Structure 1
Amino acid sequence: MTQHDAQIDRDLRGPEDDALTGLGFADPGGRTRGESLGERLLGSLLDRAHLMPPRLVGPLVAQEIAEMGGRDVSIYLQDFDHATLRPLQGPGLVGEAELIDDSPAGTAFRTDERCEVHQADGSVRLFVPMLDGSDRVGVLALTLPEVDDNDRRLAQRLAGLTADLVVTKSGYTDTFARTRMTAPMSLSAHLQWQMLPPLVMTTPDVALAGALEPAYEVGGDSFDYALEDQTLHLAVFDAMGHGVEAAIMATLMIAAYRHGRINGSALPEMYREMDGVMASSFPGRFATAMLGKLDTVTGELTWINAGHPSGLLIRDGRVVDELSGPITRPVGFGHAAPHVHAAQLRPGDRVLFFTDGVVEERVAGGGQFGEQRLRQFIEANALEQLPPAESVRLLSHALLKGRGGRTSDDASLLMVEWSGPPRDDELARGIPGGVPAGTVLA
Structure 2
Amino acid sequence: MLDPMEAVRRLMDLRHRGRAEDLPAVLTTAAPLLDAEAATVLLVDYGQIALHPLRGTVLDTATSHGLEDSPAGRAFTTARQQWHDDGLLWLPLLHGAERLGVLELRTKTRPSASDRRDLEVIAALVAELIASRRFYGDAVEHTRRRLPMQVAAEVIWNQLPPLTFAVDGTIVTAVLEPCYEVGGDAFDYAANADILHVALFDTVGHGISASALTTLTLNTYRNARRSGLSLADTCRSIDKWIHAQYPGAFVTALLAELDVPTGAYRRISAGHPAELFLRGGRVLPQLPAPNTLPLGLGHMVDRPPRVVETQLEPGDALVLYTDGITEARDASGTLFGVDRLGDFLIEALGRGIPAPETMRRLVQAIISYEDGDLRDDATAAMLQWRRP
TM over 0.5: yes
8 Å contact kept, 2:89–2:105: yes
How far did residue 214 of structure 1 move?
A: 0.7
1:358 equivalent in alignment to 2:325: yes
Query: Which of the residues 40, 43, 47 maps onto 2:6?
Result: 40
CA 1:377–1:275 in 2, change beyond 3 Å: closer, same or farther? Answer: same
1:303 equivalent in alignment to 2:267: yes
2:285 aligned counterpart, secondary structure? strand
CA 1:280–1:104 in 2, change beyond 3 Å: closer, same or farther? Answer: same
1:51 equivalent in alignment to 2:31: no
8 Å contact kept, 2:93–2:124: yes
8 Å contact kept, 2:349–2:355: no
How far did residue 91 of structure 1 move?
A: 5.3
8 Å contact kept, 2:24–2:54: yes
Distance 1:326 1:361 in 2: 21
Distance 1:232 1:53 in 2: 33
Q: Larger relative contact order (C-alpha < 8 A, sep ≥ 6)?
A: 2
8 Å contact kept, 1:205–1:296: no
1:279 equivalent in alignment to 2:236: no
How far did residue 235 of structure 1 move?
A: 0.2
CA 1:375–1:69 in 2, change beyond 3 Å: closer, same or farther? Answer: closer
1:381 aligned counterpart, secondary structure? helix
For residues 399-414 of structure 1, the aligned pairs below 5 Å read 399-414=366-381
Distance 2:212 2:289 in 1: 30
The corresponding residue for 1:202 is 166
1:371 equivalent in alignment to 2:338: yes
CA 1:55–1:205 in 2, change beyond 3 Å: closer, same or farther? Answer: closer
Superposition TM-score, scaled by structure 2 size: 0.94
The letter for the 1-side match of 2:82 is: C
1:83 equivalent in alignment to 2:57: no
The corresponding residue for 2:279 is 315
Distance 2:13 2:372 in 1: 47
How far did residue 68 of structure 1 move?
A: 4.3
For residues 338-353 of structure 1, the aligned pairs below 5 Å read 338-353=305-320
The letter for the 1-side match of 2:138 is: D
* C-alpha RMSD of matched pairs (Å): 1.6
The corresponding residue for 2:30 is 64
8 Å contact kept, 2:31–2:38: no
1:129 equivalent in alignment to 2:92: yes
The corresponding residue for 2:63 is 96
CA 1:326–1:402 in 2, change beyond 3 Å: closer, same or farther? Answer: closer
Distance 1:63 1:90 in 2: 14
Distance 1:368 1:92 in 2: 46
Whichever of the two has the greater Rg, that structure is 1
How far did residue 222 of structure 1 move?
A: 0.4
Distance 1:69 1:298 in 2: 47
8 Å contact kept, 1:126–1:142: yes
Distance 1:359 1:47 in 2: 48
How far did residue 355 of structure 1 move?
A: 0.2
The corresponding residue for 1:189 is 153
How far did residue 307 of structure 1 move?
A: 0.4
CA 1:41–1:136 in 2, change beyond 3 Å: closer, same or farther? Answer: same
The corresponding residue for 1:241 is 205
Distance 1:264 1:189 in 2: 30
1:353 aligned counterpart, secondary structure? strand
1:107 equivalent in alignment to 2:74: yes
Superposition TM-score, scaled by structure 1 size: 0.83
CA 1:291–1:48 in 2, change beyond 3 Å: closer, same or farther? Answer: closer
1:235 aligned counterpart, secondary structure? strand
CA 1:290–1:68 in 2, change beyond 3 Å: closer, same or farther? Answer: closer
8 Å contact kept, 1:377–1:398: no
The letter for the 1-side match of 2:50 is: T
For residues 22-41 of structure 1, the aligned pairs below 5 Å read 37-41=3-7
The letter for the 2-side match of 1:327 is: N
CA 1:344–1:182 in 2, change beyond 3 Å: closer, same or farther? Answer: same
The corresponding residue for 1:32 is none
How far did residue 49 of structure 1 move?
A: 4.3
1:144 equivalent in alignment to 2:127: no
How far did residue 135 of structure 1 move?
A: 0.7
For residues 281-321 of structure 1, the C-alpha deviation after alignment (integer angstroms, 9 at most, x for no partner) is 11110000000000011101100000011101111232122
8 Å contact kept, 1:353–1:415: yes
Structure 1 portions without partners, runs of 5+: 1-35, 423-442
8 Å contact kept, 1:63–1:92: no
Distance 2:58 2:15 in 1: 16
For residues 363-404 of structure 1, the C-alpha deviation after alignment (integer angstroms, 9 at most, x for no partner) is 222233222222222234345612211111111111222233
The corresponding residue for 2:297 is 333
Aligned length: 382
2:298 aligned counterpart, secondary structure? coil
For residues 137-181 of structure 1, the C-alpha deviation after alignment (integer angstroms, 9 at most, x for no partner) is 110001121211232012111111111111111112111011011
Distance 1:233 1:384 in 2: 28
CA 1:326–1:243 in 2, change beyond 3 Å: closer, same or farther? Answer: closer
The corresponding residue for 2:179 is 215
CA 1:240–1:284 in 2, change beyond 3 Å: closer, same or farther? Answer: same
Structure 2 portions without partners, runs of 5+: none
Distance 1:192 1:199 in 2: 13
